[in-house]
């Protein structure tokens, strides 16, 4: 009787693992300097600290997401090799074989390559080129190994950005609180509309405001403009300008790992928890 009960519990646990939902979020904006990579890396780290398992995907040739966890020499060595995102997409490989462990438990990454500058050409020759990443990521998403997959997209809108969004459940748009922060946002939404013709299940999770200086009117102006967009969720948690962020980047570490007590670390953590809460809510709706 005890053995039978144990087997039932084991089967139940296996069933729970099979049904586990992996949520994929793409951090994208048509404007450079919006804080995409920094937000993606620090949100990923904060989610892990709260007990989640996270896979990061560096989709940008600038390698900033990868540089958030490894030193420059290591990153360049990876970029030159054949275990990076560029090679995986070029050869249409299963991404399961391209995962690196970061120095932090339960936080993994698929690194980028400087060769990503040629990814549009590689895609042009492929069949169903908009869905290559989606197919390459399918086994990881269905395995239930990760609670979240966070993708850092480049600031350019083209076939590769479309690939990243088609492989995602949600789009998250970081917006810089500056005079030019909203520049290109209309293009981003227009591009999103085009992507949903191919991937109708893709939804906008929300807009996160970064690089905030509360002493200037830019923040209030940015917030007021965004609040007019009734169709999209604006995260209450925002990240202010903090020199600790730059020091952490220089050290190749997430802010909370560099200085847990810093204001920036607390703000990224608050944003990560709000993102999780919003994702759970949206997942239940769908």
First to last CA, the chain: 40
Beta 100-101 vs 107-110: how paired, if at all? antiparallel
With 80 as the cut, is the pLDDT of residue 128 above it?
Answer: no
Q: What are phi and psi of 95, to 5 degrees?
A: -70, -10
> Can you give the pLDDT at residue 115?
87
Q: What is the pLDDT of residues 144-193, one digit of tens each?
A: 999 999 999 998 888 899 999 999 999 999 998 877 778 878 889 999 99
Q: Give whole-number Cα distances, 176 to 28, 213, 221, in Å.
A: 12, 10, 11
Q: Give whole-number Cα distances, 89 to 37, 53, 60, 173, 225, in Å.
A: 20, 24, 13, 24, 38
pTM for the model stands at 0.90
Residues contacting 199, CB < 8 A, separation 6+: 134, 165, 166
Q: What are phi and psi of 203, to 5 degrees?
A: -125, 155
> Can you give the pLDDT at residue 20?
63
> Can you give the pLDDT at residue 271?
98
> Can you give the pLDDT at residue 18?
41
Residue with tokens 């990454």: 109
Give me the percent of the chain exceeding a pLDDT of 90: 67
Furthest CA-CA distance within the chain: 69
Q: What is the pLDDT of residues 8-22, one digit of tens each?
A: 444 444 443 444 689
Q: What is the pLDDT of residues 241-253, one digit of tens each?
A: 999 999 999 999 9
Out of 3-7, 49-53, 155-159, 272-276, which region has the weakest mean confidence (pLDDT)? 3-7
> Can you give the pLDDT at residue 38?
96
For the chain, the average pLDDT equals 88
Helix (H) / strand (E) containing 57: strand 54-58
> Can you give the pLDDT at residue 127?
65
60-72: average pLDDT: 94
104-125: average pLDDT: 87
């Amino acid at each position: 009787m005890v053995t039978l009960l144990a087997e039932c519990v084991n089967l139940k646990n296996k069933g729970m693992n099979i049904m586990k939902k992996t949520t994929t979020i793409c951090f994208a904006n048509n404007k450079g300097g919006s804080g995409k990579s920094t937000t993606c890396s620090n949100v990923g780290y904060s989610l892990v600290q709260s007990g989640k398992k996270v896979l990061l995907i560096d989709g940008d040739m600038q390698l900033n997401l990868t540089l958030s966890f490894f030193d420059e020499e290591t990153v360049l060595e990876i970029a030159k090799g054949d275990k990076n995102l560029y090679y995986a997409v070029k050869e249409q490989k299963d991404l399961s074989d391209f995962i690196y462990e970061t120095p932090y438990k339960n936080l993994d990454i698929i690194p980028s390559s400087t060769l990503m500058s040629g990814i549009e050409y590689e895609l042009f020759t492929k069949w169903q080129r908009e869905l290559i990443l989606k197919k390459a990521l399918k086994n990881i998403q269905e395995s239930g190994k990760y609670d979240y997959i966070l993708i850092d997209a480049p600031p350019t809108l083209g076939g590769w950005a479309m690939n990243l969004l088609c492989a995602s459940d949600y789009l998250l748009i970081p917006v810089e609180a500056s005079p030019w922060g909203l520049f290109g946002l209309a293009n981003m939404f227009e591009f999103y509309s085009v992507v949903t013709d191919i991937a109708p299940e893709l939804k906008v999770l929300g807009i996160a405001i970064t690089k905030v200086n509360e002493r200037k009117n830019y923040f209030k102006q940015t917030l007021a403009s965004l609040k007019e967009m009734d169709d999209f969720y604006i995260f209450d948690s925002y990240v202010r300008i903090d020199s600790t962020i730059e020091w952490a980047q220089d050290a190749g570490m997430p802010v909370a790992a560099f200085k847990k007590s810093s204001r920036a670390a607390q703000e990224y953590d608050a944003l990560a928890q709000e993102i999780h809460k919003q994702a759970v809510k949206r997942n239940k709706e769908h």
